[in-house]
């Protein structure tokens, strides 16, 4: 991640956080939307995904994400290794009480991916039967990739833990 990207992420965070120096879950969603539109680093975040990222970014558990927590989390998303990104995904969707992804967590991940893929396809597209078919195909592709990622997470968990 280059210094320009870091500075843009920092500026997005500071614009939303203001003098407080931290953001709440709804504010993190705004920061991610702003970062996506200005830096073109991450796709526009949905409320569900922003809440899950908040849970991962809030490393000290104080119910707030400060600038350092935000930048560290974004560094993993933007420039982390495959394993770091898998770990972030796992922590975003696992049940806090159990060290594994529950059925509810898997459902939430697949639903978020499906919804997001539809949002991406709907941008600047006229609705037509062809677009609807492309939306379904894209959603299927995303879900297949997520299931593949879940398998990798599960395998890593078995070997590491």
Three-state SS at 66: strand
In the predicted structure, residue 121 carries a pLDDT above the cut 80: no
Rounded to whole angstroms, how far apart are CA atoms 22 and 73?
A: 14
Q: Are strands 22-23 and 65-66 parallel, antiparallel or unpaired?
A: antiparallel
In the chain, residues under CATH classification 1.10.238.10 are 1-80
In the predicted structure, residue 113 carries a pLDDT above the cut 80: no
Where does the pLDDT of residue 123 fall: very low under 50, low under 70, confident under 90, or very high at 90 and above?
low
Closest CA to 55 of 99, 16, 94: 94
Which long-range contacts link 51-54 to residues 24+ away (Cβ below 8 Å)? Answer: 51/25, 52/92, 52/93, 52/108, 52/112, 53/28, 53/92, 54/25, 54/28
Rounded to whole angstroms, how far apart are CA atoms 45 and 2?
A: 22
33-86 pLDDT tens trace:
887 765 444 444 456 778 888 989 999 999 999 999 999 999 888 888 988 988
The Cβ of residue 79 has, within 10 Å, a number of other Cβ atoms equal to 14
In the predicted structure, residue 13 carries a pLDDT above the cut 80: yes
Q: What is the pLDDT of residue 70?
A: 94
Mean pLDDT along residues 131-143: 73
pTM above 0.85, yes or no: no
> The domain at 1-80 falls in which architecture?
Orthogonal Bundle (1.10)
């Amino acid at each position: 991640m280059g210094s320009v990207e870091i500075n843009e992420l920092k500026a997005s965070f500071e614009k939303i956080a203001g003098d407080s120096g931290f953001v709440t879950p709804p504010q993190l969603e705004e920061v991610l939307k702003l970062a996506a539109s200005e830096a073109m680093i991450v796709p526009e975040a949905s409320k569900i995904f922003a809440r899950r990222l908040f849970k991962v970014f809030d490393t000290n558990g104080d119910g707030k994400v400060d600038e350092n927590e935000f930048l560290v989390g974004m560094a993993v998303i933007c420039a982390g290794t495959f394993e770091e990104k898998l770990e972030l995904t796992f922590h975003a969707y696992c049940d806090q009480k159990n060290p594994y992804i529950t059925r509810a967590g898997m459902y939430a991940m697949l639903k978020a991916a499906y919804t997001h893929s539809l949002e991406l396809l709907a941008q600047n597209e006229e609705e037509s039967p062809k677009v609807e078919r492309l939306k379904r195909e894209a959603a299927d592709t995303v879900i297949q990739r997520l299931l593949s990622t879940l398998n990798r997470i599960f395998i890593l968990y078995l070997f590491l833990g």
